[in-house]
Structure 1
């Protein structure tokens, strides 16, 4: 009975910050600082950290630093308790004694950074990240990160701090392939979704392990919820990126195409149809193209087309490699034009090559067939390209209008197209 009374006095002194009573009780029984058993096997530091009593923490650490490393029955260290309550000064004192506690996990698998972020204690999160960012990268249950934890508990302020500090880690997925944006949609976190969409670091169009984007995940939710239309509007704006925003994604495909064309043109140059002469004679020399002697006019067409394809491909390769099309619309137009020229030229080179190796009686028919197919393919390519460009520009115009942005901010031809779209919408030819 006496022991219970003493323990109650000790608990009250620690929780209320009564340093005088604490010293008196510990002077009467010094072993209390080591053995005081509170609920959940917590010691003096756990209780002091829970109630934010920094002076008590400092005094107990002076008497017994080992208590900072002793967890309670839930495997929570005193730093876990301080993180849950958001006590920055106490956390700093505990870390000065046991800095490795940033890595310790409780029975839920969370370290103090996870606990502080989940509870939205921004200043404490900043302090812990100042010690080391590595504990924040520790994975939780089913591969979730501290960022997933912030989204799940609606802690946007803590999420912003972590995104700023953790760099590309913000693109991490859990075991189900879910990104932060997927989880934010599932949790109906409108402001979090808006922040993630506007953030340039976060991958916004990623699919989860089921092959679904964030917008597809939203469509599985009941459409009558209060946040449904708001989230849908944000995600639709995300999918309606402009042509120029989508351009960097096209560079890899463009490079593959133009490198292939350049390789084909080089091969035709060093190994023309019909081969090369193997001996020297008055009419030719060894190594010269046979076609140059037998069909000089056709060979001239082949060389001109092949050279045009090769040079146009080199121009496109140079522009894409330097990244200029992604920063300037004029360079983008030059790169696209050069690629189209190289496609047309290599097609003409192919036609000349086929005509060369075709029998005379069939040459005219084959030539007509090649030209017809070439005309159809090129026209189809031009129509598809025009459709894609105009559609992207139209979606960009609609997005800018929804966001109340100035339509004349863009340079070059965009404002002209925006004006045309507005006139068509006014006359009812396009949906507003």
Structure 2
């Protein structure tokens, strides 16, 4: 009797592997309770796992309709059918799962990694956007390392995925997620600093708590200062972009920028869509944003000015201060970094 039971499920597995819907219904006619077996097993390789992994789209959708609970099962490796479809890049099946049950975006597999986390790591911004719209609450899901999808996108150097996630949390007014800390107490801002992602730092600086400390008691600025040239490696490219946007010359200095006549773009604020820079204390949010943008440009110009020698103005402190004001190797003019993080 036991061998007969094994034979039934071997046949079912073969049917799933081949994606044969006709034979599936033949088995169901022969054994009406054949799919009930999987409800009683905590971790198992179901026929839905097999068909999703093999890319059998129509069979997967048929089986998912007949027995939706199979999509919630994890195999012995800790993966759901949707996880396996993502791993094998079977996007049509993934979208099929999404259409039938959007909550599968939040199903937690090995390491509490959800499909949203996985897509953020892969950097598929289109699928990431679909997941967010289908299951908005998935943005709150954490891995066992207390990572959000935003943490994972930044750690994986998936800049476009990060921008999608950033746009989403801003549109749904959930910016506090950006201040969420992982198991080491690091926010997204800390992580961006640790891998020198200056583009991300620039995008986040007006949104997050820049003074937040991780478990080592360090802010993102502290992490940047561990580099001998904190934001220099990528500063050149950003400076070039900023100069192009604001119509700078090829060798513009900060003094040169401030003393030059505003360009047409700056004067009309068409590109940034912002108001007069002079309205700062009691002005609009747009005025503050424009002032902040100018401060970022100023820092980039200053850093680029002395980047070639990798030696900032004034050099570095040669010895520790007795009152801990500075340490050996720290820049004597670290206020330039402070300017980057303050509005």
With normalisation by structure 2, the TM-score equals 0.57
The structure-2 alpha-carbon separation of the partners of 1:203 and 1:320, relative to structure 1 and needing over 3 Å to count, comes to closer
Partner of 1:320, secondary structure, is coil
- Structure 1 partner of 2:154: 151
- CA-CA distance at 1:56 after TM superposition: 0.9
2:131 aligned to 123, 128, 131, which one? 128
- Structure 2 partner of 1:54: 57
- Structure 2 partner of 1:171: 178
- Structure 1 partner of 2:200: 196
User: Are residue 65 (structure 1) and residue 68 (structure 2) matched?
Assistant: yes
How far apart in 1 are the matches of 2:299 and 2:103?
Answer: 55
1:394-413 alignment, distance < 5 Å: 396=301, 399=304
- CA-CA distance at 1:237 after TM superposition: 9.5
How far apart in 2 are the matches of 1:328 and 1:74?
Answer: 51
How far apart in 2 are the matches of 1:394 and 1:91?
Answer: 45
Q: Verify the 8 A CA contact 2:150 2:165 in the aligned structure 1.
A: yes
User: Are residue 206 (structure 1) and residue 213 (structure 2) matched?
Assistant: no
Q: Verify the 8 A CA contact 2:61 2:96 in the aligned structure 1.
A: yes
Partner of 2:35, secondary structure, is helix
The structure-2 alpha-carbon separation of the partners of 1:100 and 1:322, relative to structure 1 and needing over 3 Å to count, comes to same
Partner of 2:128, secondary structure, is helix
The structure-2 alpha-carbon separation of the partners of 1:399 and 1:231, relative to structure 1 and needing over 3 Å to count, comes to closer
- CA-CA distance at 1:118 after TM superposition: 2.8
Cα offsets for 1:54-111 (capped at 9, x unmatched): 1111221343233334444566443344444444433343344433333433352233
How far apart in 2 are the matches of 1:97 and 1:198?
Answer: 39
How far apart in 2 are the matches of 1:52 and 1:12?
Answer: 14
User: Are residue 17 (structure 1) and residue 25 (structure 2) matched?
Assistant: no
- CA-CA distance at 1:205 after TM superposition: 8.7
The structure-2 alpha-carbon separation of the partners of 1:237 and 1:125, relative to structure 1 and needing over 3 Å to count, comes to closer
The structure-2 alpha-carbon separation of the partners of 1:89 and 1:236, relative to structure 1 and needing over 3 Å to count, comes to closer
How far apart in 2 are the matches of 1:395 and 1:120?
Answer: 28
RMSD of aligned alpha carbons: 4.6
Partner of 2:181, secondary structure, is coil
User: Are residue 101 (structure 1) and residue 107 (structure 2) matched?
Assistant: no
Higher mean Cα deviation, 55-64 or 166-175? 166-175
- Structure 1 partner of 2:233: 233
- CA-CA distance at 1:325 after TM superposition: 6.9
The structure-2 alpha-carbon separation of the partners of 1:132 and 1:171, relative to structure 1 and needing over 3 Å to count, comes to same
Tell me the number of residue pairs that the alignment of Structure 1 and Structure 2 aligns.
259
Q: Verify the 8 A CA contact 2:236 2:304 in the aligned structure 1.
A: no
How far apart in 1 are the matches of 2:30 and 2:85?
Answer: 28
- Structure 1 partner of 2:48: 45
How far apart in 1 are the matches of 2:162 and 2:289?
Answer: 30
The structure-2 alpha-carbon separation of the partners of 1:116 and 1:15, relative to structure 1 and needing over 3 Å to count, comes to farther
User: Are residue 112 (structure 1) and residue 121 (structure 2) matched?
Assistant: no
Partner of 1:321, secondary structure, is coil
Q: Verify the 8 A CA contact 2:279 2:287 in the aligned structure 1.
A: no
Partner of 1:67, secondary structure, is helix
- Bigger relative contact order, structure 1 or 2 (CA pairs below 8 A, ≥6 apart): 2
- CA-CA distance at 1:132 after TM superposition: 2.9
- CA-CA distance at 1:6 after TM superposition: 4.4
How far apart in 2 are the matches of 1:26 and 1:325?
Answer: 68
Cα offsets for 1:109-164 (capped at 9, x unmatched): 23332233234343332221121322112333454311112223343343232222
State which structure, 1 or 2, has the greater radius of gyration over its C-alpha atoms: 1
How far apart in 1 are the matches of 2:128 and 2:144?
Answer: 20
- Structure 1 partner of 2:191: 183
How far apart in 1 are the matches of 2:41 and 2:55?
Answer: 17
How far apart in 2 are the matches of 1:235 and 1:319?
Answer: 26
1:308-319 alignment, distance < 5 Å: none
